[in-house]
Chain A
């Protein structure tokens, strides 16, 4: 195909580099420097997509990132795919494969367009209202329908082949936007020597200068670009979108590194997310032209006047040969003049204003361009492209008077509804906006951070003004080129252009991407929405991926008109990050796959892996769960391990237990305040189990703490609780009791911890230990310094199984060698290595709780039947007053009990609800829940622990556990200890 709409010369494209690409499977060519949109327009192709709700044919209305219509799916066939990408910012490269979206079977013959014919059925809030009833239809009917009908592009199905990077940066000044204002700011600041970062979403510096014909600033742009490039402390980032402006001048910017080349080589990252902390920020983000809201304003060929100029000057592309200009201000006259100079035949300028005056109007008249003043476009025609427009005169009262005899032929309508300073980032950074009546737009008002706006972003619409404001914002002191701006007259806002067309259901779109019409906004107001935030959500205006960059002020003004209120009184919408859509890949950066989350491994992990352990995740830890023998399943392995620990002995890796070294002359007093029991008399060489509460009286953590010396303790915590216990102790020590001299050090990873437990435990261990570990020398709840397999460490005689147990601690680096020595020595005494699942069963057989399993943050020691650990004598400890609250002493609290099923083989589900009645009626009272439940070969039956309302008084009673299949399991309430109830074995 020929580039029928490409001019023979001009533009900022490289004509020496032809680039072939495909769109919907058809091959096209363009030039290096083109965007997908400019290259398609060069072929006269405007139809690039279908709209979201009505599937109406759509072409681009803009030439930049504000584009709402021309959304494209990029897919290189090898995993790199991007939905909802704007054709207007996709830089062309050889082999680019682009597909239009939201159409079936093809863009030209889309079936979904039937929604447009039935559009009276789809007014604002159609989904909310229609899909309310019946409720049961949601899953089966409504949701599948909505899911099928909605959505634009399709999500990737393959793994992302690209790599993404993050970079942290600090600067004195961050300049956003490299147009005249931004360049002047960066230059002024750069010359003063501060660290400057200049970012711009375009592929070159220049901003609005790139969209204009060669002008007097061309040389200045070249000079400034090269000077900035030569300054070491200035970082210039093109193809970089400032996506988010957060608190305290923290901003993120997305740099596109290989998107414009299509290269996926696994070396250079595709995109880089910059995380910038800036001393000051200058926003020089320009202005975005507004659409006009008139019937048929979404027909392909209708676009912003400024976009037509950009396609003309930057890409040497004519968006049409017979343009009709429709405007309420002077700026669109530039498009008329430039298009005419490029050889097109201007159908007419339709100007809402009755008597526009000024140099641009004079120039258009001088060129012989027909101007219909006091007139509006009331409708357009054309199936996939506009081919004519109807004109009518409009009175000062906003009503149509006479209609022009017959429609004007045209192949594009270039509209301008005025300009919105691009205040998105200013607003994201919490800056307050003010409505400017002259511009009929919001402008920056009060900044909440160290930020200034310069140029069009600040409402200064002249180039000379942009240059001087920019230079000043950058610190001043630079010479600026002389620019003479053409003075423009005032605009006349007409927010919703009336139409005389009734029969053909004319639609005047406000939000093109979400298909919201002026009529929808009217419905929202009639339904009672008075806040713009409610109107937004009711109609979804401004809530698409373009965030209403071209439409928000129109929507506000139309709502204000309906409410007969001033625009500022209706409010403004808040802009939210990201400024333009951002890939998840860039957000995640390198944090995926193995780097998604850190993995913590114990010193004996390698041994467990080599010996067939099945691991489970406990926080970030990998813990060996069980060690299956060939042909053994989990149940088989766990029952074998459980029985062998009690028959002979077992060895478990307990290194993940939290360990905190506590020192200082007041360490003992400190422990006495944080644990519920007494610690003042615990002698060196002894250990004690302790329960920690929060101030509200609920159990927080537990563990055994050993007295190393009078001013030195070794505390253990639950595996998951270690960080929060340490943080809690630090908090108390620094903020509540700063008078106590006590120091905390996490030593979790310094010690390898292994528990050897069971009747043969001492026989296995004793030959490896230089010291005497007999019951006399090392009784239950004592500890000693000892040399184990040649390694100096500590042995704690504490038990979580109810058997004789030794917890051997050696420096982590020696963990595996000591472990292997014990395993080797254990062979003669039938030692078995066991995992956490067996540990859980063994402790449940003994009724030992696990904080976080039996407790859920609302259990007191009394609920758990642990009255014995709460000191009645101590005047205070954390939680003492909390336990006195009436609710915590109530008799019907959930209390820990044992449950035995009538059928000994039946294992209850953990989390199952307990009921008093076996007659299931929904709803019915749930009086408790199962917290732990296992098959216990040692008990010869299943066992369970549960928290049951008033459970301590229900011993021997029959309760019921309803099952998912509707049946009910009968259970008997028992005590919480199922094995060795007298507790003799532990002292053996």
Chain B
């Protein structure tokens, strides 16, 4: 079970959280074509390596936040606020955590 650092409550067990999938997906305006809309609705990254995700502390403070997680090691590399850009991570090559 992952240990996740809620930016408001501190480190808590994964069972208190819900993962909201890939972060930074911009909801397009209504006039985009079907392909763009399909991409928004259904197409997601599935990287082996760093993944930007949305998480919510639903059995805690109820707040959403963003996280960078390495899908290989399950290590959380960064936690940052909704609306913020993902921070640059040192020591990463080819998308894989080499530290």
B-contacting residues of A (Cβ < 8 Å)?
Answer: 246-250, 277, 430, 448, 695-696, 727, 730-731, 734-736, 738, 875-876, 880-882, 884-886
Instruction: Evaluate contact between A738 and B3: CB separation under 8 angstroms.
Output: no
Closest 7 CB pairs between A and B? A248-B3, A250-B1, A734-B64, A881-B30, A247-B74, A248-B2, A735-B64
Closest to B41 in A: A696
Instruction: Evaluate contact between A735 and B3: CB separation under 8 angstroms.
Output: no
Q: Give which listed residue, B28, B30, B62, contacts A730 with CB less than 8 A.
A: B62
Give 1 or 0 for each of B57-77: 1 = CB within 8 Å of chain A CB: 010001110000000011000
Instruction: Evaluate contact between B58 and A727: CB separation under 8 angstroms.
Output: yes
Distance, CA A731 to CA B65, complexed state (A): 10
Distance, CA A885 to CA B41, complexed state (A): 11
Is B19 on the interface with A (CB-CB < 8 A)? no
Distance, CA A601 to CA B43, complexed state (A): 42
4 further A-B contacts with Cβ under 8 Å, apart from A695-B40, A875-B30, A882-B37, are: A730-B64, A731-B20, A735-B64, A738-B82
B residues near A248, Cβ cutoff 8 Å: 1-3, 74
Instruction: Evaluate contact between A695 and B41: CB separation under 8 angstroms.
Output: yes
Instruction: Evaluate contact between B27 and A736: CB separation under 8 angstroms.
Output: yes
| Smallest CB separation, B31 vs chain A (Å) | 9
B residues near A880, Cβ cutoff 8 Å: 30
Q: List 16 A-B contacts (CB under 8 A).
A: A246-B1, A247-B1, A247-B2, A247-B74, A249-B3, A250-B2, A250-B3, A277-B3, A695-B40, A695-B41, A727-B58, A735-B20, A735-B64, A880-B30, A881-B32, A884-B30
**Chain B residue total in the interface (Cβ 8 A):** 25
Q: Given A248-B74, A881-B30, are A735 and B41 also a contact pair (CB < 8 Å)?
A: no
Is B34 on the interface with A (CB-CB < 8 A)? yes
Distance, CA A886 to CA B33, complexed state (A): 11
Closest to A448 in B: B73
A residues near B83, Cβ cutoff 8 Å: 738
Is B56 on the interface with A (CB-CB < 8 A)? yes
Q: Give which listed residue, B3, B34, B82, contacts A886 with CB less than 8 A.
A: B34
Instruction: Evaluate contact between B1 and A885: CB separation under 8 angstroms.
Output: no
Chain B residues 74 to 94 lying within 8 A of chain A, measured CB to CB, are: 74, 82-83
Distance, CA A735 to CA B81, complexed state (A): 10
Is B51 on the interface with A (CB-CB < 8 A)? no
Q: Give which listed residue, B18, B30, B62, contacts A876 with CB less than 8 A.
A: B30
Give 1 or 0 for each of B4-30: 1 = CB within 8 Å of chain A CB: 000000000100001010000001101
Closest to A733 in B: B64
| Smallest CB separation, B41 vs chain A (Å) | 6
| Smallest CB separation, A888 vs chain B (Å) | 11
B residues near A731, Cβ cutoff 8 Å: 20, 56, 64
B residues near A448, Cβ cutoff 8 Å: 73
Distance, CA A880 to CA B27, complexed state (A): 13
A residues near B62, Cβ cutoff 8 Å: 730
Distance, CA A876 to CA B27, complexed state (A): 12
Closest to A697 in B: B41
Distance, CA A49 to CA B74, complexed state (A): 43
Distance, CA A727 to CA B34, complexed state (A): 28
Closest to A744 in B: B62
A residues near B20, Cβ cutoff 8 Å: 731, 735
Distance, CA A596 to CA B28, complexed state (A): 44
B residues near A247, Cβ cutoff 8 Å: 1-2, 74
Closest to B64 in A: A734
B residues near A882, Cβ cutoff 8 Å: 37, 41
Chain B residues 28 to 58 lying within 8 A of chain A, measured CB to CB, are: 28, 30, 32, 34, 37-38, 40-41, 54, 56, 58
Instruction: Evaluate contact between B30 and A734: CB separation under 8 angstroms.
Output: no
Instruction: Evaluate contact between B82 and A734: CB separation under 8 angstroms.
Output: yes
**Centre residue among B1, B40, B62, B83 by max chain A CB count within 10 A:** B1
Distance, CA A884 to CA B34, complexed state (A): 9
Distance, CA A884 to CA B20, complexed state (A): 25
Instruction: Evaluate contact between B63 and A734: CB separation under 8 angstroms.
Output: yes
Closest to B42 in A: A696
A residues near B58, Cβ cutoff 8 Å: 727
Distance, CA A727 to CA B37, complexed state (A): 23
| Smallest CB separation, B47 vs chain A (Å) | 18
| Smallest CB separation, B64 vs chain A (Å) | 4
Distance, CA A426 to CA B78, complexed state (A): 26
| Smallest CB separation, A250 vs chain B (Å) | 4
A residues near B1, Cβ cutoff 8 Å: 246-248, 250
B residues near A250, Cβ cutoff 8 Å: 1-3, 13
Instruction: Evaluate contact between A735 and B82: CB separation under 8 angstroms.
Output: yes
Distance, CA A585 to CA B39, complexed state (A): 46
Closest to B23 in A: A735
| Smallest CB separation, A914 vs chain B (Å) | 30
Distance, CA A277 to CA B14, complexed state (A): 12
B residues near A727, Cβ cutoff 8 Å: 18, 56, 58
Closest to A275 in B: B1
Distance, CA A247 to CA B58, complexed state (A): 21
Distance, CA A248 to CA B62, complexed state (A): 23
Distance, CA A727 to CA B74, complexed state (A): 25
| Smallest CB separation, A907 vs chain B (Å) | 39
| Smallest CB separation, A115 vs chain B (Å) | 43
| Smallest CB separation, B69 vs chain A (Å) | 11
B residues near A249, Cβ cutoff 8 Å: 3
| Smallest CB separation, A629 vs chain B (Å) | 44
Distance, CA A249 to CA B73, complexed state (A): 12
Instruction: Evaluate contact between B54 and A735: CB separation under 8 angstroms.
Output: yes
| Smallest CB separation, B65 vs chain A (Å) | 9
Closest to A246 in B: B1
| Smallest CB separation, A721 vs chain B (Å) | 16
| Smallest CB separation, B20 vs chain A (Å) | 7
B residues near A277, Cβ cutoff 8 Å: 3, 13
**Centre residue among A727, A735, A875 by max chain B CB count within 10 A:** A735
Distance, CA A695 to CA B74, complexed state (A): 30
Closest to B62 in A: A730
Distance, CA A395 to CA B70, complexed state (A): 52
Distance, CA A249 to CA B28, complexed state (A): 40
Distance, CA A736 to CA B26, complexed state (A): 9
Closest to B32 in A: A881
| Smallest CB separation, A732 vs chain B (Å) | 10
Closest to A277 in B: B3
A residues near B3, Cβ cutoff 8 Å: 248-250, 277
A residues near B54, Cβ cutoff 8 Å: 735
B residues near A734, Cβ cutoff 8 Å: 63-64, 82
Distance, CA A886 to CA B35, complexed state (A): 12
| Smallest CB separation, A770 vs chain B (Å) | 38
Distance, CA A497 to CA B81, complexed state (A): 63
Closest to B36 in A: A881
